[in-house]
A and B are shown apart, each in its own frame.
Chain A
């Protein structure tokens, strides 16, 4: 019972490089989410998806791209990483809606030098 997994768990990259963070869930939940967590800001929604091939912007989408070709995968891409994107990124899923209980992955700590 893997649940929801994220990879890599830690990543160091340089400014301007493209980085993709992976998220995989085994529950077949309809909804998936990407958040970033920064001290003093709690969790801020980057993008979410209600189903395969359906994505929508969250609170802080600039500089990020998502796709969802399969229900179980929801990768997040930073097309040209900036230092301000240094953060801990969490993927989550929910079976019902974005307003119900969300199940979170363990997070990816990304450092952009």
Chain B
């Protein structure tokens, strides 16, 4: 059972464009994390959000946790080739289980 569905699964855009990646669930999560994974490497944590409605910014990346704590989004402004990678959401549900999402593979074309 996949509790965290990410969309889109694949995304290819031109350098300078904006994009949004979504992480959705029917379950409530106590906290939600976003990781980025570059080819041939393990994932690296970008941010953790814990409060419904919370918005966190990391340079050109904006993360939002839904008010009901069932969804999250990652918005990238003016994408750069260095943003290329697999973006994974992950969260702890209210049953103390921890899951990774299905992933969004982003390619930014120079």
Which residues on A are within 8 Å of B, measured CB to CB?
35, 40-45, 59, 90, 92, 98-107
Contacts and interface: CB of A to CB of B under 8 A. Distances in A.
Interface stretch (B53-61, B74-82, B97-105): B97-105
A110 to B, nearest CB: 15
A105 B42 contact: yes
For chain B, give the interface size range: 20 to 34
B109 interface: no
Contacts of A41: 2, 102
A104 B98 contact: no
A70 B106 CA distance: 38
A104 B102 contact: no
Nearest to B45: A101
A99 to B, nearest CB: 4
B110 interface: no
B92 A99 contact: yes
Given A99-B31, A99-B92, A101-B33, A44 B42 contact: no
Interface in B1-53: 2, 4, 6, 9, 30-31, 33, 40-45, 48
A104 B40 contact: no
